[in-house]
A = this chain, B = another copy of it.
Amino acid sequence: MKALLIVAHGSRRAASNEEVEALAAAVEISCAEQFGYIGTAFLELAQPDIPTGIDRCIEAGADTVVVVPYFLAAGTHVANDIPAIIDEARGRHSHCSFELKSHIGASPMMAALVKDVATR
């Protein structure tokens, strides 16, 4: 089974973290065929952290975990911190494969999304 883990920065504001959870719920509705489990995790300031989020995917039965960084910019968090955490998880879960995707800011759909917000 393939799981999707949406990884966000995390905020001290509960409402910001809840926005990410609401997004995950919306993604879940449209991805039921592709992913048997969809979870969220936070790099810092909120729970669950990324290792816990990965563990939950595997407890749910995942043999593949697809990680999407919910970040706009390819800063240190995206370039270094998240890959290091995924590499650590590869060591702990050698029977599971991990696919780390590009941060969402690099999506070719982003320009269309910004246009939609601007003209709505």
Contacts and interface: CB of A to CB of B under 8 A. Distances in A.
A100 to B, nearest CB: 11
The size class of the interface chain A forms with chain B is 35 or more
Contact of A23 (B13, B31, B111): B111
Contacts of A20: 73
Given A101-B120, A104-B114, A118-B34, A16 B75 contact: yes
Interface stretch (A4-12, A49-57, A87-95): A4-12
Contacts of A118: 4, 27, 31, 34-35, 66, 68, 101
Interface in A55-100: 66, 68, 70-75
Copies in the complex: 2
A113 B111 contact: no
A21 to B, nearest CB: 12
Interface in A33-49: 34-35
8 contacts: A26-B110, A26-B111, A29-B111, A70-B72, A72-B72, A104-B117, A107-B113, A109-B109
